[in-house]
Structure 1
């Protein structure tokens, strides 16, 4: 488990995180909040990219202040918002192999990890492609594969569907579902409330560097999320108009209204 305890952090004496407490286990935890609320700053503490000024972060008992980013990357993988910032090799295979090679693994183990990671994100057959020749969704999945090849227990996905078309977004969503089934703990940073509704098992809301909510998805959407610059999912708006209560999918909504699709017209 990852534990964040009374975390404080400042940039140029401007406090960004103000006493954050957080846990992440084997779950999909959505980290949400307005721009500037401290989401990415918090996430960068989980793999040691940033170190606490006060408080501490423990990754399976390891204090991040006492371990390097390289050490922590074996436990916590970070997929940045713009995946292109992660690429510098000429082929997809070499890109995914870079991390395992730096772990000092033998050639056979590296190849096995690359094949496994590419299969997990549905990029088999792309080994000799150039990373920059891929589509937006393929680049996002490649970035996830690069992290998966390190075999981390936890993954941080920073706005993983931003800028993707619907087909690419669905492919990334399916990868996230697959990873959750495999037992990974996933921190999902997103402004997409539809994504939160579909994927999250728990939601943490940050505002002005403070944790103002930590609870279930249903409890979260009882809040006035618009107050924090977030948009309520259209599915929930429709469900409320129909008196169907809280639902998490269109299929569930149809079931609640007795299968009478005419009410959706």
Structure 2
């Protein structure tokens, strides 16, 4: 199957001479959730900003669907790659939630009937019916971030990029982000996450790309990447706390990577059953 996003030998050098990414190759397919990890300055954000044309490759090529990003306008690419910024204040600027939800569709010059259908779907999915007349800046940070996501959802791009979606969120907000990522996937979107949130990646257990010093150093399932101590140390990253906990307990299966509390509970239940069988002689 052909990838929807194809990154071929891409490098990007900023005007000040700094090479932010170097010789990156990456294919992303329909239906995937992909986390891009790395410490600050590793190149992860620079890489992803190429997907909707915010940046153009200095070397190499990126295709999104059938579009070469070097040759297309940001507006056209943004219809296929929606970018939700880390700070929703950088994305919301209109006086009501209703206007925010419709803005992207109007900017792409969609017909009124289509706009109404798309906006209503976003309202329903995000349960925003009671907030439509609110000013986004009167909402809390979690609610503003949801409005930003909903405005992208109304446009309905194939790819949704979430830049540090759990930053500044409390436990409830982080849980909601997890639910929304799963919803985006169910709705048929490719989801790309730029994040430091190892717990979120552990819960999703998704494909994980690790960047370090402008290069891609790992690309595999989260359970495989998080179990590779060499990669994690090289990138200056720590696996989820629950994974670190499991690594300290010698009774756990050393061939398995535990990413969630649920996986620990499953292990405990399974081993309790084994203990009972041994105790009863069965």
Corresponding residue of 2:245: 238
Moved more, 242-251 or 60-69: 242-251
Moved more, 105-114 or 173-182: 105-114
Q: Structure 1 pair 170/124, CA: closer, same or farther in 2 (3 Å)?
A: farther
Give the structure-1-normalised TM-score.
0.94
Matches of 1:226 and 1:127 in 2, distance apart?
46
Corresponding residue of 1:178: 183
Corresponding residue of 2:134: 129
Establish whether residue 204 from structure 1 lines up as the match of residue 213 from structure 2. Answer: no
Corresponding residue of 2:262: 251
Aligned to 1:46, the other structure's residue is in SS state: coil
Corresponding residue of 1:16: 20
Q: CA deviation at 1:200?
A: 4.2
Q: CA deviation at 1:230?
A: 1.9
Q: CA deviation at 1:249?
A: 2.5
Moved more, 27-36 or 242-251: 242-251
Corresponding residue of 2:280: none
Larger Rg belongs to:
2
Moved more, 222-231 or 16-25: 222-231
Matches of 1:53 and 1:10 in 2, distance apart?
6
User: Aligned runs of 1:1-265 on 2, under 5 Å?
Assistant: 1-11=4-14, 12-25=16-29, 26-224=31-229, 225-240=232-247, 241=249, 242-244=251-253, 245-258=256-269
Matches of 1:129 and 1:30 in 2, distance apart?
32
Q: CA deviation at 1:97?
A: 0.4
What does the per-residue CA deviation read over 1:137-161, in whole Å, with 9 as the maximum and x for residues that have no partner?
1111111111111110001110001
Matches of 1:200 and 1:123 in 2, distance apart?
29
Matches of 1:236 and 1:165 in 2, distance apart?
21
Q: CA deviation at 1:226?
A: 4.1
Corresponding residue of 1:263: none
Matches of 2:259 and 2:240 in 1, distance apart?
10
Give the structure-2-normalised TM-score.
0.88
Q: Structure 1 pair 226/192, CA: closer, same or farther in 2 (3 Å)?
A: farther
Q: CA deviation at 1:123?
A: 2.4
Matches of 2:41 and 2:188 in 1, distance apart?
31
CA contact (8 A) 2:205 2:223 kept: no
Mark the runs of 5 or more structure 2 residues left unpaired by the alignment: 273-282
Matches of 2:260 and 2:18 in 1, distance apart?
41
RMSD of the alignment, in Å? 1.4
Aligned to 1:57, the other structure's residue is in SS state: strand
CA contact (8 A) 2:80 2:157 kept: yes
CA contact (8 A) 1:197 1:217 kept: yes
Matches of 2:52 and 2:117 in 1, distance apart?
25
